[in-house]
Amino acid sequence: MVRLPDFSRRATTREWMDDPTVPDEDVVAALRDLERINVVLRVRAALARHLFPRIERAARSPVRILDVATGAADIPRAIVRWARRRGRRVEIVALDLGWPVLRYARRAIAGYPEIALVRADARRLPFPRDAFDFVIATEFLHHLADEEIVPFLRHLMGLARDAFLINDLRRHPAAYYGFCVLSRLFFRSRLVRHDGPISILRGFTVRECEELRRALGVRAFSLHRHFPYRLLIIGER
């Protein structure tokens, strides 16, 4: 008998990408697929809609940005390309923990001196208060356990002089079953095919995000829905 997923609460199943013993070649294949996913699902466009106008309005130059769990560093690269076109100066710290991920990202950021790679645990960010203007995290929040989320967001609020922007997954049956079908057609990585549905089940509902706002006690907290089944959480100082 097939057991159907429970969409009423966040899943606790671990993703293979969180296992440090995963072979390097599997990590590289997954990062390539994740870059494609970010393009197809317009992840960069959703972030750009909210981050780029804030960079434009920022009085400081260069604008300092921290990207938590950067993966392939495709988001920082997109920010730099936009900033160059607009004549804005940015400095981005792209942070991740896994050596295979960082090796991939190091090759990807060749020609992007605005981006510095740092190896660190996102749960213990090694930066002082107000170290950045903006802190961003794409598809990292769902990797945290429930009890870790509010302390993590509070820490981001302390690091960001202006705002943090969290782009993550909305837990919904259509997102889950849609990914299960499309992943078999378009994605080669066994990690992505395995972890994608789990990531969605570890994602969030709109109600849960509203509960986060109340737990944080932050007035300038906004939630934005983006197609397909994406949530962007913004907390402003």
Q: Over 149-194, what HEC string results? A: HHHHHHHHHHHEEEEEEEEEEECCHHHHHHHHHHHHHHCCCHHHHH
Average pLDDT score, the chain: 93
For 143-153, what is each residue's pLDDT tens digit? 999 999 999 99
For 173-185, what is each residue's pLDDT tens digit? 999 999 999 888 8
Peptide bond into 76 cis (omega under 30): no
Beta strands 115-119; 90-96: pairing state: parallel
Q: In the structure encoding, which two tokens stand for residue 33, read together?
A: 């697929």
pTM as predicted: 0.94
Q: What does the DSSP 8-state code read for residue 60?
A: S
Tell me the pLDDT of the chain (237 aa) as tens digits.
457 799 999 999 999 999 989 999 999 999 999 998 888 777 778 888 999 999 999 999 999 999 999 999 999 999 999 999 999 999 999 999 999 999 999 999 999 999 999 999 999 999 999 999 999 999 999 999 999 999 999 999 999 999 999 999 999 999 999 999 988 888 889 999 999 999 999 999 999 999 998 998 877 899 999 988 999 999 998
Domains of the chain: 42-170+207-236 (3.40.50.150)
- Based on its alpha-carbon atoms, the radius of gyration of the chain, rounded to whole angstroms, reads 17
Q: In the structure encoding, which two tokens stand for residue 66, read together?
A: 């921290």
